[in-house]
């Protein structure tokens, strides 16, 4: 790597760790830690499956296309997430930096990208295309899921940004197909 590129990348890496540590310090408060553990658990899939079920109960057959679309996006998000994680093998922040504490449960070994954020953005983007009236529920929840990752010490902010971009791309591209 050329020295012209190394310096900016070192600066970004330094910023990434510093911001992660700052977010993670918030988890020292029991109420914050509990809130984000709950959000993280819901973001494991519970919230999204409940949303799909609620859409089917509320809108019946009319919601079938939206729910199937969300399921396809979810499968694509999972495939992309697993493919990238197997290739990047980025350790989680708490594994590398002793001042960052894992305050939640990691679903797998590696950090990049944030699968929770990828799925949250993918599912929300898809659902909102069909039901924009759900924005007041889905947008705050998606932001909370994304924030939960560095607050719980499980992801760097760059993992979260990458997950959000990938989730948005997958949801957006799914409407082009």
Cβ-in-10-Å burial (0-12, 13-18, 19+) of 48 comes to buried
Structural domains of the chain, count: 1
DSSP E strands: which ranges in the chain? none
Measured CA to CA in angstroms, residue 162 lies from 31, 57, 117, 168 at distances of 28, 33, 9, 10
User: For 102, phi and psi rounded to 5 degrees?
Assistant: -75, 115
pLDDT digits (tens), the chain, 177 positions: 556 666 677 888 999 999 999 999 999 999 999 999 999 999 999 999 999 999 999 999 999 999 999 999 999 999 999 999 999 999 999 999 999 999 998 989 999 999 999 999 999 999 999 999 999 999 999 999 999 999 999 999 999 999 999 999 999 999 998
Assign residue 99 the CATH number of its domain. 1.20.144.10
For residue 68, the enclosing domain spans 3-174
Residue 177 is predicted with a pLDDT of 83
On whether the pTM is more than 0.85, the answer is yes
């Amino acid at each position: 790597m050329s020295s012209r590129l190394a310096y900016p990348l070192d600066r970004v890496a330094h910023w990434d760790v510093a911001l992660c540590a700052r977010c993670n310090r918030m988890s020292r408060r029991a109420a914050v830690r509990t809130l984000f553990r709950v959000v993280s658990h819901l973001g494991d899939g519970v919230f999204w499956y409940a949303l799909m079920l609620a859409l089917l109960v509320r809108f019946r057959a009319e919601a079938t296309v939206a729910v199937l679309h969300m399921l396809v996006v979810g499968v694509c998000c999972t495939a992309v997430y697993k493919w990238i994680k197997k290739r990047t093998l980025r350790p989680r922040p708490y594994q590398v930096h002793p001042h960052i504490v894992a305050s939640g449960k990691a679903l797998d070994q590696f950090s990049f990208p944030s699968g929770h954020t990828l799925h949250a953005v993918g599912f929300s983007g898809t659902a909102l295309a069909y039901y924009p009236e759900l924005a007041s529920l889905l947008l705050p929840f998606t932001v909370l899921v994304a924030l939960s990752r560095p607050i719980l010490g499980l992801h760097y902010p760059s993992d979260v940004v990458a997950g959000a971009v990938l989730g948005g791309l997958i949801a957006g591209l799914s409407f082009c197909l």
